[in-house]
Amino acid sequence: EEQRRLLQNRPDQPRSPRVLRVAVIGAPNAGKSTLSNQLLGRKVFPVSKKVHTTRCKARGVITHQDTQLIILDTPGLTNPLKAKRHNLDEAMLTDPWDSMKHADLVLVLVDVSDHWTRNSLSKEVLKCLSQFPHIPSILVLNKVDLLKKKFLLLEIATDLTEGIVNGKKVEVKSALKQDDSSSAKSPLHESKVPGSHFGQERNQAQEGSGLDRSSGVGVAGTGKAQGPKHHGPEDLKDTKGWPHFQEIFMLAALRGEEVDTLKRYLLMQAKPGPWEFHSDVLTNQSPQEICDNIIREKILEYLPLEVPYGVTQVTEIWQEGECGELLIVQSLLVPRESHKRMLIGRGGKVISRIAQEAGQDLMNAFLCDVRLKLKVEVKS
């Protein structure tokens, strides 16, 4: 009731409100929801190692002093063929595009630990960027802690930007000969790319970027760049990167490394405008939607690939006790008896683990005691 009241009533407004709508896009499983949760400081978006955990666009709200950031967490950009394979709703195809229409800034997230995909943006991401070239965009390289050879980050960044950041050409050069006493703490101290977070002095928090000195490489601007060529849908097939990014960030979202640096940057980009949400709102999702998402996240985590996508969740009881505790009883409907056995597990171990972990996440999300009971039934 409190959440509904906050969402329905007109939001409070400071004297000089500022706002920024950020669309977080990327390939499935790049870490979009993990990053969104870290920016918010609470877990309100489902996270799983399996693709397509996020099924619809949801909004997270960060209110800091006079500024409000609205994080548009979107499903991973996919195509109709893959959507059909995973039995996904049509919204999975349209929601990222809808989010782009409302965005003031686009955050493109790339998983640098995936050596198969990290050196080129997916065709779906490139198509999305080329459809909305007027919206400022930044590149965020995620999971840098999993990359043992840090010097590869520069190669990856150069490929993904086509060698152009903030309108300036970028060149990679060795920094091994730099004297330690005169160098900055970041190995990317040779960066002279205006606006690039490879090595800005004003960005002091960059010192802990998860990069070590042993990478021995740097990035430098080479003065005036040639104007980046326009990308139309017809020539995207030969394109690997996007030459219009204004900034590049490197972080490890799961561990929270450098997330505050990104958050401060986003707050700085906000423009004057009225707040869309009350300052007490953390997400536009209802508590029931958060509950469904968290339970489904655990089902995705512990069941074989084909099973979770066929589970239907039905909340039977949602009761608040006298002391503020929450009792939730949910039925999980599966299409086959074999799926029921897998979901319950031997001696009920799987379903018990799902209920225990989901209950803990719900307590962290709602900041109250939660008693969660799950039942498994075959769809009639």
Same domain, 38 and 100: yes
Same domain, 81 and 120: yes
Same domain, 81 and 9: yes
For residue 115, which of 148, 84, 90, 81 has the smallest C-alpha distance? 148
Contact 218, 191 (CB under 8 A): yes
Q: Is 212 helix (H, G, I), strand (E, B) or coil?
A: coil
**CATH code, domain with 309:** 3.30.300.20
What are the tokens at 113?
Answer: 């630990």
- Phi and psi for 313 in degrees, rounded to 5? -105, 130
Residue 33: its pLDDT value, please?
Answer: 87
Residue 241 CA to residue 320 CA, distance in Å, equals 51
What are the tokens at 125?
Answer: 């991401």
> 154-198: per-residue pLDDT in tens?
999 999 999 999 999 876 544 333 333 333 333 343 333 334 455
pTM of the model: 0.77
Residue 346, C-beta contacts closer than 8 angstroms, at least 6 positions apart: none
Residue 197: its pLDDT value, please?
Answer: 56
Q: Is 325 helix (H, G, I), strand (E, B) or coil?
A: coil
Give the number of other CB atoms < 10 A from CB of residue 21: 20
Most confident of 74-88, 215-229, 232-246, 309-323: 309-323
pLDDT at 49 over 60: yes
Same domain, 78 and 165: yes
Same domain, 1 and 83: yes
Domain limits at 243?
Answer: 1-172+237-272
**Domain-terminating residue out of 272, 298, 317:** 272
What are the tokens at 181?
Answer: 């006493």
Contact 354, 302 (CB under 8 A): yes
Residue 350, C-beta contacts closer than 8 angstroms, at least 6 positions apart: 302, 303, 342, 343, 344
Q: Is 104 helix (H, G, I), strand (E, B) or coil?
A: coil
Residue 266 CA to residue 274 CA, distance in Å, equals 17
Contact 309, 87 (CB under 8 A): yes
> 318-349: per-residue pLDDT in tens?
999 888 899 999 999 999 999 999 999 999 99
Residue 86: its pLDDT value, please?
Answer: 45
Domain count, the chain: 2
> 76-123: per-residue pLDDT in tens?
454 444 444 444 444 433 444 677 888 999 999 999 999 999 999 988
For residue 213, which of 294, 150, 153, 158 has the smallest C-alpha distance? 150
* Burial track 329-365 (b if 16+ CB lie within 10 A, e otherwise): ebebbbeeeebbebbbbeeeebbeebbebbbebbbeb
Amino acid at site 42 = R
In a domain, 183, yes or no: no
Percent of the chain, pLDDT > 70? 72
